[in-house]
Structure 1
Amino acid sequence: MNKIFISHSSFDSKYVEKIIDLLETIGLPSEKIFCSSFEGYGVKLGTDFLSYLKNELNNEILVIFILSNNFYSSTICLCEMGATWVKTNMHIPILIPPFEYSDVKGVIPTIHGMKIDEKERYNSLKDIIEKEFGISPINQSIWERKRDNHLKQIKELIESSPVSSHPLSGQNININDDYYINSNEIIKRQSKIEWPNDYEMQLHYINKQKEAVQNLKEHNPLDIDKNEFKIIREKARIEWKNDYEMQLDFEQRQVESLRRIKEL
């Protein structure tokens, strides 16, 4: 392996930063870490991200997936998942609680995965990194001290983060319950407008939009005041009248931003 690519949601960057610190503690040089959320580890200004990713991914890339509800709510992350699965051979999923192994969907297997607060798994992660990148092992006493300090910081992050509902759980909030009645017709009509002569893309568009409708119906952040969420949802419907994917993306970003404001 010649590089590690960390696939993650930008909303989970505070956890990703801790993983980067740990990789560097193990002895991995910073230039061998690709992570889009931090300057010096990502794509240079002016570079097309998807093109860069397409050119960079190969069998010599180890992919670490930072999995959470935020990850599965991101269209970009799901695109990354598909691309990395096809073009790379080695993958390590790391889950952020309360996200569970049972929540993992798509192509990522969980047999070699770990939770970000599982102490025992970090020794295995260290062994894999040392082996794949030819790194001389760090002094064991130093490693244990740095690992335990890392875990302490991770647990503090988890405990300080608001508990969010799973994107496919909870009760539907009562905002215009009949809003989605004609969604299928709207989606089909819009697919022909977006992709008039491409039936494959029409089908892809329809499936993604229907999935977004289902997620919107069940999106119910329990830690957000219902009136505040109502304002967010109504604005999403005004801004993106015929695009349910964008409505969902807008809602989730606004909800996460509201959570962060409440933490200040």
Structure 2
Amino acid sequence: MNSHYVLFELGARWGAKKPLFPLITDNKGVSILKGPLQGINALVAHEEGQLFQFVADIGKELGIVPEGPNSYHGQMKQFIKSLANTGANEKPVKAQSSQPQKESNSEEYSGANEQIKEHCKQEWPDDFHMRAHCIAEQSKALLILQQGRPSDIEEDDFVTIRKKAARDWPSDFHMRAHQEKEQFEALRRLKDL
């Protein structure tokens, strides 16, 4: 973030509305993003779940389905460990939410894995390949939902968006996460008006 060239490239990509997948390795997390970049959904490399999301997002943009996480989980753990060994003494900052993550999300999503399996079984009763793909997509979406409130979204707005998405898509986490993302982006655009 100290390089003017990097900031210029990030700004140009953002301004051109091209896909942008920032992965932050700095222990300060998303707090290092300034200006219009604060509104983008940056992921933090110190968190396993966010790295899984990063791989899924890149795969989706490229139109490919990445290999299962078990094929690269070992390398991911080594990568996270290497970040911890870069000499930074600070603990990594958790991304986005200011709420107590474990308590609220464990209650809000208790039984989610069973719900995902049942949803995908109903969607794909006789196509096991598509059922497995459905479960993977739903699980990735659940990881996004579990990240909680983005730092630039007000608590009241977040609660309104989350409740509506849960009401509209009670058994589809993928569509819930998609609807929330669209609503967050719309809120950000409204703030710029």
**1:100 to 1:182, Cα distance in 2 relative to 1, 3 A:** closer
TM-fit CA distance, 1:190: 1.0
What is the number of residues matched between the two proteins? 121
Cα displacement string for residues 85-143 of structure 1 (whole angstroms, at most 9, x for unaligned residues): xxxxxxxxxxxxxx2486xxxxxxxxxxxxxxxxxxxxxxxxxxxxxxxxxxxxxxxxx
Q: Which residue of 2 aligns with 1:113?
A: none
Cα displacement string for residues 162-207 of structure 1 (whole angstroms, at most 9, x for unaligned residues): 4345354333746953121111111111111101100011111011
Maintained 8 Å contact 1:172/1:218: no
Q: Looking at secondary structure, tell me which structure has more strand per residue.
A: 1
Give TM-score, length-normalised by structure 2: 0.54
Q: Which residue of 1 aligns with 2:39?
A: 163
| Among 127, 131, 141, the residue aligned to 1:212 | 141
Q: Which residue of 2 aligns with 1:224?
A: 153
**1:13 to 1:101, Cα distance in 2 relative to 1, 3 A:** closer
| Among 220, 239, 263, the residue aligned to 2:168 | 239
Partner amino acid, structure 1, of 2:157: E
Cα displacement string for residues 212-257 of structure 1 (whole angstroms, at most 9, x for unaligned residues): 1111101431111111111000100000000000110011100010
Maintained 8 Å contact 2:165/2:179: yes
- Mapped partners of 1:101, 1:162: distance in 2: 12
Give TM-score, length-normalised by structure 1: 0.41
Q: Which residue of 2 aligns with 1:15?
A: 16
Maintained 8 Å contact 1:195/1:201: yes
Q: Looking at secondary structure, tell me which structure has more helix per residue.
A: 2
- Mapped partners of 1:224, 1:204: distance in 2: 31
In structure 1, the gaps of 5 or more residues are 1-11, 17-65, 70-98, 103-157
The root-mean-square deviation of aligned C-alpha atoms, in Å, is: 2.8
Matches within 5 A, 1:172-191: 173=99, 176-177=104-105, 178-191=107-120
Partner amino acid, structure 2, of 1:15: A
Alignment pair present for 1:253 and 2:129: no
Q: Which residue of 2 aligns with 1:68?
A: 20
- Mapped partners of 2:178, 2:116: distance in 1: 17
Q: Which residue of 2 aligns with 1:203?
A: 132
In structure 2, the gaps of 5 or more residues are 1-12, 26-33, 44-49, 51-94
Maintained 8 Å contact 2:138/2:173: yes
